[in-house]
Amino acid sequence: MPELPEVETVRAGAADHLLGRPIVTVEVLRDRSVRRQEGGPAEFTALLTGRTLDAAVRRGKFLWLPLRGPDGAAEDHALLVHLGMSGQLLVTGAGENPHLRVRLTFADGGQAWFVDQRTFGYLTVADLVPTPDGGPGGLGAAPGPAEHMLPAPVAHIGRDLLDPLLADPAGPGRADLIRRLRRGRRGIKRALLDQTLVSGIGNIYADEALWRAQLHYDRRTDTMPRAQVAAVLEAAAEVMRTALAAGGTSFDSLYVNVNGASGYFDRSLNVYGREGLDCPRCGTPIVRESFMNRSAAFCPRCQRRPRRR
């Protein structure tokens, strides 16, 4: 599943290529891809036709594009994009794709495609609501009426470590997150994957962050000193920034940016997908265990299993 760096790569591409271009036609080729739209494809089409995408904003793995109406006024809803497992948002102008689900055509003749082989992703036009903490909706929020708004389906999602309010390791947002993490009584990886607490960290980057911080995934957060929690969060931020610089992580053709290019961070993974291979730090074979219907990869020497109480 695309994680935060992959979605941020798509968001940046959307900001470069999709904004300010009036939408003249909307084609829904697979109803399932707009299944979250209460009024179905007809409502989805009506709410987008004639509108202009005004900004590209991301919180965690959710991306949204606030809308301006035909009269140029900001509207109180946005196009919400969730890539699911295989969703792609592509900028193109010609050709066909067997997995094309939604096609937007702009006044200049260009097109944006939502391509989704496994159809777990979706698009919907959602109402904007004020952010619970009064801050900007997310990374990429532009000054204006929608700056402190976010789509209603995203209101419960926590901020992510690249968010303007959490990005500073010494800032008040990061300090509050550390306090909330330490109040829990669960394993650190389970906490990192809680999208209501801190969003955007998925299985790949949680394993990589814990390897960098030399912590076992089952270490309970209430037993961790503040400095140790801070180190894990910064490791997670660092691994995502590194992945973002590489364009994200691609294991097959299902993740690409808006121009169709794959990411290359998979070449820098230290533990994820490396079961049985030597730990890059100490040479001990990497272990993979079942975890929350997924898996956890770690070095048994660098990341000692905590003692059971």
Give me the active site residues, please: 2-3, 61, 294
Measured distance CA(164)–CA(181) in Å, rounded? 19
Q: How many CB atoms lie within 10 A of CB 96?
A: 6
Structure-block tokens of residue 278: 């030597």
Reduced to 3 states (helix: H, G, I; strand: E, B; else coil), residue 17 is: helix
Contact criterion met (CB below 8 Å) for 195 and 136? no
DSSP letters spanning 213-236: HT--TT-BGGGS-HHHHHHHHHHH
Measured distance CA(21)–CA(163) in Å, rounded? 26
Count of CA atoms in the C-beta half-sphere (13 A) of 253: 5
Q: Which residues contact 52 (CB under 8 A, 6 or more apart)?
A: 19, 20, 21, 22, 23, 67, 68, 72
Tell me the H-state helices in 93-202: 172-183, 188-192
The amino acid sitting at 107 is A
